[in-house]
Amino acid sequence: MTRADVHMGESREATAAPDFRSDLLSLIPFLRAFARSLTGNYESADDLVQETLVKAWQSRDTFELGTNLKAWLFTILRNQFYSDRRRAWRQAPWDQDAAERMPGTSQDQNWAADLSDTARALRLLPDEQREALILVGAGGFSYMDAAAIVKCNVGTVKSRVARARKALIAILERQDALPSRQRPDQGEAAREIMAQLDALAPSEPPNGTGKKRNKTRTE
């Protein structure tokens, strides 16, 4: 007896698919966002979402109705990401080059390739910290759901998130101390954030950004 028989009954199975399909459809944008955060790359992120949708579709009978479909899908996506990457590493190193060769196309603006310092800094975090921070800090998952997705306990997720935040701040502070690179030009929000970060930095202001600073500190 399959799971579908149990929860739906044979006669209603035909209507189960459209529900599952529309739920899946509505969650695709979130899968894309999570995938983008894992891969840091537009194209491989959508490839990953494709694989995830196929896997989810094939194993939808194992999804327990009433539980968190989003978390279930994120789990599949994450597993797929790591197993793809393991395979890529075993085969050839060129996949990594492919991931890095992608310059900032316009579609990449929202994630990682070029826009904000935070996006760049995020790439420097260990995977486990980055994914925990994204799930909790951006994806809105509870620590408990995040723990289920990354298969560890809640305490571990909490400490990973905390370490990720700390590390990001440290990286951004280091970047602020560097001579000016080009600052993001598009995006009011990014500019705003940078202005806030600059204003908050207690020392070592970035030079040459053209931002006004009040030199009220004692010399």
Partner 1 sequence: MSKDDSENGNKSRAIRARQRAIGRELRRMYDGVVSEPVPDELLDLLRRMDEADLETKKKTS
Where does this chain bind partner 1 (CB under 8 A)?
Answer: 13-14, 17-18, 21, 24-25, 28-30, 32-33, 36-37, 46, 49-50, 53-54, 57, 109-112, 115-116, 118-119, 122, 133-134, 137-139, 165, 168-169, 172, 189-190, 193, 196-197, 200-202
Summarize the chain as % helix, strand, coil (round to 5).
Answer: 70, 0, 30
Compute the least distance from the CB of residue 157 to partner 1, in Å: 16
Nearer to partner 1, 72 or 111 (CB): 111
In the bound state with partner 1, the residue whose beta carbon lies nearer, of 49 and 69, is 49
Query: Which is closer to partner 1, CB of 32 or CB of 160?
Result: 32
Helix axes 69-91 and 13-39, enclosed angle (nearest 10): 50
Nearer to partner 1, 68 or 187 (CB): 187
Q: Cα torsion at 27, 78, 75, 19 (round to 10°)?
A: 30
Minimum distance from residue 93 beta carbon to partner 1 (Å): 27
The smaller minimum CB distance to partner 1, of residues 148 and 172, is found at 172
Q: In 3D, which of 133, 103, 117, 111 has the Cα closest to residue 190?
A: 117
CA–CA distance, 178 with 138 (Å, rounded to integer): 28
